[in-house]
């Protein structure tokens, strides 16, 4: 099911706090992963074709962003019982294959995804140095089987953030597969 970002958080809203484990059980807090100049929080998983489409480019993009003091953290909020291909073992393998160097965390309760208003994989949230939302939108306008992932949309937002410009106003929402909610855990904003 194709869904788009909910835009539940508005520009200037504070990043919801979290403390989540990675695939090996190491726990990371938002404060530990934040960047000096900005923080990118991405909700994703392993099996979604929209994530697979941009996964390699996301690795390159985040490495370049980290060199500019914008750190990245990824969060997998899918129901891992129903979707074992998104479980801890596959998470480690997938991240390694994509050269991801950022923490890739598990939101077992799915509460962090709800706090962010995350709806799809991938869903991107860029925060400024004070952890206020600057951009929530798409990576770029490519899609599986349509164009090459470049990260142009998100890159423009990072460049504008670091240049001290106001947040972009004409933003295209992220789109992809819906987060796989546990039965009875679907948030009110989920229309599926």
Domain positions in the chain are 2-15+28-178
Nearest 10 degrees: CA dihedral of 170, 6, 16, 86?
-120
pLDDT at position 115 is: 96
Q: What is the CATH number of domain 2-15+28-178?
A: 3.40.30.10
pLDDT for 131-156, tens place per residue? 999 999 999 999 999 999 999 999 99
CB-CB contact of 126 with 154 (8 Å): yes
pLDDT digits (tens, 9 = 90+) for 181-190: 999 988 887 7
Residues of the chain with pLDDT under 70: 1-7, 191-192
Q: What is the pLDDT of residue 7?
A: 64
pLDDT of 19 reads 98
Helix (H, G, I), strand (E, B) or coil at 152: helix
Query: What does the block give as tokens for 44?
Result: 């994703």
Q: Taken in order 49, 5, 163, 153, is the CA torsion positive or negative? A: positive
Burial environment of residue 48 by CB neighbours within 10 A (0 to 12, 13 to 18, 19 or more):
buried
* Closest C-alpha among 105, 93, 133 to residue 117: 133
Residue 1 is predicted with a pLDDT of 54
Query: Residue 51 has what pLDDT?
Result: 98
CA–CA separation, 61 vs 159, rounded Å?
12
């Amino acid at each position: 099911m194709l869904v788009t970002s909910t835009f539940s958080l508005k520009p200037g809203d504070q990043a919801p706090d979290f403390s989540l484990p990675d695939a090996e059980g190491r726990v990371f807090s938002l404060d530990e992963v934040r960047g000096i100049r900005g923080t990118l929080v991405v909700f994703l998983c392993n099996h979604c074709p929209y994530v697979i489409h941009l996964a390699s480019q996301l690795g390159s993009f985040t490495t370049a962003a980290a060199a500019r003091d914008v750190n990245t953290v990824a969060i997998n909020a899918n129901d891992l019982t129903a979707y074992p291909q998104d479980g801890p073992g596959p998470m480690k393998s997938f991240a390694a294959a994509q050269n991801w160097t950022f923490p890739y965390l598990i939101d077992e309760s799915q509460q962090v995804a709800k706090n962010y208003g995350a709806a799809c994989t991938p869903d991107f949230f860029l925060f400024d140095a004070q952890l206020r939302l600057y951009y929530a939108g798409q990576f770029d306008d490519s899609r599986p089987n349509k164009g090459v992932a470049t990260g142009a949309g998100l890159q423009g937002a990072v460049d504008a953030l670091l240049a001290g410009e106001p947040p972009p106003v004409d933003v295209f929402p992220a789109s992809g597969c819906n987060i796989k909610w546990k039965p009875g855990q679907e948030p009110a904003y989920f229309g599926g």
